[in-house]
Structures are given as C-alpha cells and as structure tokens.
Structure 1
Amino acid sequence: MTRRPAPPLPPPKARRHLRETAALTQTQLASRVGVTPGTVRAWESGRTTPRGRKRDAYAKLLKTLADEETARRTTQTQHPESAPEADSAPKPTSGSESAPARKPLPHEPDPVPESAPGSAPESVPESTLEPAPEPEPGPEPVPEARPAPVPLTPAQAFDALYEFGAPALVRQTYLLTGRREQAREAVERAFQAAWEHWPEVARDRDPVGWVRATAYEYALSPWQRLRPRHRRPEPPPADPGDRTLLNTLLRLPPRHRRTLVLYDGVGLDLPETAAETEASTPTTANRLLRAREAVAGRLPALADPQMLHRRLAELASNERLGAARPHAVRGDGERRARFWTRAAIAFTAALVGTTALTVRTAPTHYEPPVSPGQAVRGVPPRAAQGSLSDEELELRHKLRDQLQHGPERLSPRLE
C-alpha cells in the first residue's frame, strides 16, 4: 500500500498573509482546523510543519482563502468604479418624492405643520415658496495625514523586550533550578547573549523563545555544579506545599523537568516544546508522561494537568524574584564582551610573540645529535701506584744526594 503525497503548503509568510487578508485571527483559524492557537503560531513562524489530517485541513483552508483573494482581486480589476462612494449623499427629488425628514437644529425655527385635508391653507410668504439656492460644492475635506511611527533604536527595542519577558523568565527558570540567584543570573546571561546577537534576535519570529531557550541551557548546564555558589543551599519556600512540589521537580531528570515546565508551566504546544528541547514529538510526549507520573506519584492531587499548571504558576509567583534593569544588563554584557575581546587580543599577541621568538632563536642548520657512549671491553684496568720498598727508598735518597754527572747548566751572559 502506497501513501499518497502530502498536499503542498505555501511558505510561512504567505500563510500568515492569507490569514490576515481574510481578516481571521489565529484563534479563529485554529478552531476551523481543529488545533490550538499556539500550533497555528508555530506553523506561521516555520518552526513546525503540519502532518497527516491536520495538514490536509490546513492546506484546504489556505487554498480556499487564496481562491477568495484571487476572486476579490479579479472583481476589483474588472469593475473598479462599481462600488458606491461612501461620502456621496442622496440628492433631494422633486414631485411626489420628498426628502427624508430630519431633526431641526437648535437655531432653526420649528417646521410648519401640514394643513389637514379640506382646510384652507395658511398664508405663507412668497419668499418661503421659492426653492433655496443649492450650496456650491466645495473642495472635499482631505483626511489628516497621521505621522509615521518613529522606529525604535536597538537599545529601546531590547529594553522593551527585556521588560516584557524578563520577570516571567526568571520565575520559569526558578522552577528548573530551585535557586533564586542562579535563575536571575541565567536570564541575565541569556539577555546579554541576545544583545550580542541582536540583529538575529530582532528578526526572529519569537524573540522571547530565543532568550528562553538560551536561559534554560545555561541554567541546566552541568558546569553549574562546580561553582562554589552551588554548594551552599538556599532557603526553601516557606509554604510546605510549595517546598514539596519544588523538591519533586528537582528530583526529575533535567530533560523531563524542562519538558514539564515548558508544556504545563509555560503552556507551549507539544510540537513547540519538542522544537525548543531539540527532540522529536514522540520523545517529548514520552518525557512529559513520565514527568507527570513522577509528580502524581508523590503528589496525587496534581494528577490533573489543569491543577498542575495552576500549582506551577503559584509556586513561581509566591517567590520574590526580581530582575535587574535593562540598561544594567546591556552594560554588563558590553563590558563582558570588551573583556573577552581584549583577552583574545592579548592571547593572540602573546602567541605571535612566542612564535617570533622561537623562529628567531631556532638553529638555521641541522646538527646531528651526539651519539650515546658505549662501554669498551677487553682493556685491562690501570694499576694504581703502591708504596716503595726499603731498597727503593734508599736508592732514591742516594740519587738525590749525589751530583749528577753531565754538562753544566748554561746561563746567558753579556759580553
């Protein structure tokens, strides 16, 4: 049995354009397809791709929206003047057709009542019987042009993103680590990385998701255990229920804990959770089920996902977790970047200097190494000089005392 090919889908930008052209919100489109608004947001951002029946329904709906847009453009092209003008007012007609009655203004006199049939008409001045001259058409009012919005500078955009997402990210990271200072530091480091890669983050469909993924990676890094701060425990929550829930979360494996916080704490969809944790959808679902079983095994009241979501939100909100000001985070990131840049320059300069010194002092020709020494065998050992006998001593004294026969010693003289 062969599977039929999946229906083609337009690019993510075209999907969003078709939805906005049809004046549909993500919630309305999600209800028509049968998914959640978060899933539609992921489809339009390109992070996930629909599959199976949902892909068929989504492709069919997009094709319908595209056909409607094409028909609308064709109608506007063929009949550009068919639409009535909204500002045009109906002209008064003469004869039996009368103009619609209107409410008199405060400064106008009361209207003359119509006479009953059979009664004599009242005397009306001739001037009132003459039709009033029609006012000359004046120039149409020109709508006032609204001033164009002033674009934000990169620093202002970063500050707005930080003020919007930093408090919630600190609370979420606290659920992963159980440490207040570590959660605050992880979020600050994530925003510093975002400021360092700001052009990439500014163009991202979900900047908060980019920062959240970076903060989670830093908070769950195994190198955090080697820091001296990690060895000192922090005071637990004051509420016994919050303390039990936090201990249960910290006993979960890091991957299961992160999946549970993203799905039941943050409220992401399963494909979005899988994309952020860099895992497949079945693997993410398996981790989520195991994490829920572990939590429900120790806290049976949290077996309901809705109750678990509410308790996670309460646990994160009960702690006073503040965040630094955005300008301070930007300043720390810039100082850190300058420090590492200067350190890299100094290390490069030291490496270049060491290389130059090595090249300068290195020999210019090859010198063979001295061969190691070898033991010579077969040579008798050298005998040491022993003590003289009595006869040898007497002979030595005799030779020293007697005058040596031979020519006298020559000495230079002046003549």
Structure 2
Amino acid sequence: MHAWPASEVPALPGQGRDLRIHDTATGGLVTLQPGPVARIYVCGITPYDATHMGHAATYNAFDLVQRVWLDTKRQVHYVQNVTDVDDPLLERAQRDHVDWVKLAEQETALFREDMTALRMLPPKHYIGAVEAIPGIVPLVERLRDLGAAYELDGDVYFSVESDPHFGEVSHLDAAAMRLLSAERGGDPDRPGKKNPLDPVLWMAAREGEPSWDGGSLGRGRPGWHIECVAIALDHLGMGFDVQGGGSDLAFPHHEMGASHAQVLTGEFPMAKAYVHAGMVALDGEKMSKSKGNLVFVSRLRRDGVDPAAIRLALLAHHYRSDWEWTDQVLQDAVARLGRWRSAVSRPDGPSADALVEEIREALAEDLNTPAALAAVDRWVALQQERGGTDTGAPGLVSRAVDALLGVAV
C-alpha cells in the first residue's frame, strides 16, 4: 500500500530542541532523545468513512512530532497502518450494499487526499492489515506456543495474564477496562474466556465474511491489536520512540498491543513513550462515526476552505486537550491565516530570529502549539504596526511556520 506525496520541509538556520512530551504510561513529561533515526508508529484509520476533524487533529499532532525531530537534524522512520478489514468496515459495506474492498480503497484514497492537502508528512511505511496477514499468522502461532494464547470455538485469544506488565500503559482498574473493552471492540461477556479482558488474536472464518489461510490457525482474519504489533515489530522493532494515536486508543488498543509485543519478544517496553491526542467534539459530543456527528476535511475542502486554515484551526488547540469544533473556530483560523499571509507578503519586517526560537521552544515543550501561534501573532502585530527593515524576515517567518507548523503562507 502506498502513502501520499511529501511536501517539502524548508531548512531553517540553527537547530531545534529535543522534545519533551506527555507519556501516558508514566503520567508525566518525558524527554525523548532518539538516535540518528527517530522511530514512530501511529495507528491509522479503519477506512469506512472519510477523514473527520478528530482524525485530522490526531495526525496533526504526530506530524508535529516528526517536524520537531527533523528540526533536530534527525531522520524519521514513521510507520502507519490501515485497518482495511474489520467489523465496522464490513458492517458499513453490508449496510450500503457495496463491496468491502472497494469501500476500503475508496476511503483510503480520500484519506490520502486529505493528508496531502493538510501537508501531513507521509509515513515511510503505510501498511494495510490485509497485506500484513502473512506476518501476523506466525506471531499468533508463537503466542500460542508460548502458552500466552488459547483457542475458543475456533477463535484464538491472547491471555492478558501472560504479560506481567499488562495495565502499565493505561493504569486503569479492571472495572474500567471491562467497560471500555465492551465499548471499543472487545467481547468481555463471551463465555469461556479465561479472563473477560482477553482480546481476540485470530477470528475463525465466518460465513459471508472474508477470510485468509491462517496455517495451523485455520482460515480466518486477524484481531485488531495484533495487526499493529506485527507491522510495528516488522518495520521498527521493539523499544521504538513513540506509539501514537487518539486518547481512545490507550485502552484497549495500545495496552493490548504492548502486551502482545512484550510477551512475543521478552522485552519491555514496546515503546519509550505512549502519546495520545485529545478528542474533538461537535455539538457537545465526541466526534465519531458511530454518532454521525462529523465534520469532514474533504467536505470543508469542497466548500472552498483553505487547508492551511483547517490546519491552523487544529493548531489553535493543544494536542492533548479535548475541544469542540465550531464555526467560530474555523472563522478565527481563516482570519489568522489572512493576517499571517498579509504580513509575510511585505518586502521587509521586524527581525524574526527570536521568533523562530520561540516556536521551537513552544513545540519542544509538549507540542505547545497555542504558544507557538501566539508568538507568530506577536510578530505579525509588530509588522502591521510599524514594519521593519530586515529584508529576510518575512521569508524566514514563512519558512518557519511551514517547516515547524506545516502551514503554507
């Protein structure tokens, strides 16, 4: 599966700072100090509907992580999956009387278009669950051979009790885990499971559903969590720098994935930091496909909204905060974009050297984009009030907000 084209990241004078970011597993800020190549895995979409603002906010957060690392002169090895076979996709295809493969391809293509328009840097490896199946089957077989998996009516489940570190990503109690498991794709009430929280690794073939050869597992399809584990271990290995996604993935997805990988390898932890973006709401409720309260990136683009304004609307909120999308949020972003473009269109202006360092400092401190935008706003206000004599300043500002914030002005 191919990703989307990369936009050029302008080079800036000097060098950025190491990133301090909130790690869900420790509950505090950690300073990430990757080697020459920083490694990040971000969980991708289940392609049964278009990219909404909740998706965009999540991928914007981890795009910023990449940009901070690139500014430190590191390379970035970014991996993202596509869950191109799963219950929600199959259910949507059945509801709409369309082929599930075509639906997945259509929505993945639209996602690529949205990511390109928003100037999100693409992953080096963009892997679909279906193409990962040959690598998933041996992992499930190994977990079974290790005694960490068991069969139930043809399905294969992972035993959470096989990992002594289970629970150390989300730090939730058993009651909260059980509730979230039921809400987020698990089956805690299924009779016969050793532990209600045990997640499925391999689902035996069901009539009318797609299935693949699972070797000794029989025909079937993979569970959700093992998909990402197989892809991450194959392309990044253990101990990569950041496991990223929305805050709703901390449990069960990232918790279960960490346990799978840790039992498979005997190493701990799977990732040095578990980083989670907040949720975006509309009309007082979390934006989600199940509720149907969605604002689509593609629809905004079709309505003529500049993608740079959409990106500024996202950047106006700290990535970890939960916030609500409103018409005013977008109007404010459109107005800000207009001010910024007017300011950098002049032939000269106030010196911008200090501004570049302010943006770097803000982003290095847990991706504080509101502080970064405020710094640019202050430079723009100076430009509007009295201008300046530095002929290189407007160009430097333009390159800085492009390189560090992904906004083309």
* TM over 0.5, shorter chain: no
| TM-score category of the 2 structures, normalised to the smaller one | under 0.3
Q: Whose strand proportion is higher, 1 or 2?
A: 2
TM-score by length of 2: 0.20
Bigger proportion of residues as helix: 1
**Structure number with larger C-alpha Rg:** 1
Q: Which has the higher contact order (CA 8 A, sep 6+)?
A: 2
